[in-house]
Amino acid sequence: MIRVTNELLGNWTEYTLTNDNGISVSVLDFGGIITKIMIPDKTGRLENIVLGYKNYQEYRTNPNYFGAIIGRVAGRIKEASFELDGSTYNLEANNGENHLHGGPGGFHQLIWKVSPFEKETEAGLKLTIKSHDGDSGYPGNLDVTVTYTLNDQDQLIIDYLATSDQTTPLTLTNHSYFNLSGNLKNTIHDHRVTMNSSKYVELDESLIPTGKLADVEGTPFDFRSGRSLSTGLENNFEQNKIVGNGYDHYFVLEDSSEFQAIIEDANSGRKMSVITNQPGMVMYTANALEDGLELAEGISRKHHGVCFETQGSPASLHNDHLPGILLKPGEPYQKQTTFTFTVIKR
């Protein structure tokens, strides 16, 4: 039987899902934040594989968006504005002149209503909020449900469901930073990533998409046959340098019934596969993560985690050839991302 437990933390509650194999996922009602994912290594030792604060009060500001649900729109919106049906909508600028991750009052800053559930082979948390017309400058009243499910197949499934009474941009994601070494023992340089993507979206020096879909062939962005993340963290390729030596780019994903991405850490033996019905994902290698933060398992360093933000492209608001993010009334937003945890057999 999968279990759900909870702990009251002042005005917040942390819920923990635990399966029959000892894997657990802990989530706050504040921001829907995943604070811990405990996974065994090749010796069976359980360790945390996501970044989170030691002092939970740090989540009140959470400038790195550790573990949070991001919305209404994940990513940057150029000049904090967009046009829709002949009208211009001005959003809150919180990243220079741009709008980032839903703005300062985004979903990562809200307390979600949580309804736990338990079944024989899975357990989960159904999180709901209502975002009102005009919130952060967005049109439409929006009802959102995000469901975290942990099952006995060692899968964490995140389901996103939303409806709106007006056409509005919407692309939700989770902003967990993964580090499969466990308990922050190492940076992510030696993590090996395989990804079903032949195109990525080029960025300018302000980290705003230029609109160009670049071919991965012959570049550090070609993960189709698998490569170490160090390839992009330690070279002079211009697109890696622009983001602070690493990746912060949108990869267009190709359909697959098996996986869109696989992440492996040979030292720990941990392996994580990602499958989603989203059209792409941002892979972010914590290039801007500052040194010296007191995290749950130690002190932070640059490149201490990697995010796999499955989503549509916010750049589609200004470049209509990119994967779109407009939700129309009467058309439910239904997206799913599944993370499967295994141990490498060698």
Which residues are known to be catalytic? 175, 309
Give yes or no for a contact between 48 and 26, defined as CB atoms under 8 angstroms apart.
no
Give yes or no for a contact between 282 and 42, defined as CB atoms under 8 angstroms apart.
no
Phi, psi of 149 (to 5 degrees): -125, 130
| Residues 6 or more apart in contact with residue 264 via CB below 8 angstroms | 180, 191, 192, 193, 270, 271, 272, 344
Three-state DSSP class for 235? coil
| Residues 6 or more apart in contact with residue 60 via CB below 8 angstroms | none
Give yes or no for a contact between 103 and 95, defined as CB atoms under 8 angstroms apart.
no
In the structure encoding, which two tokens stand for residue 243, read together? 């983001």
Angle at 20 between CA 17 and CA 21, to 5 degrees: 100
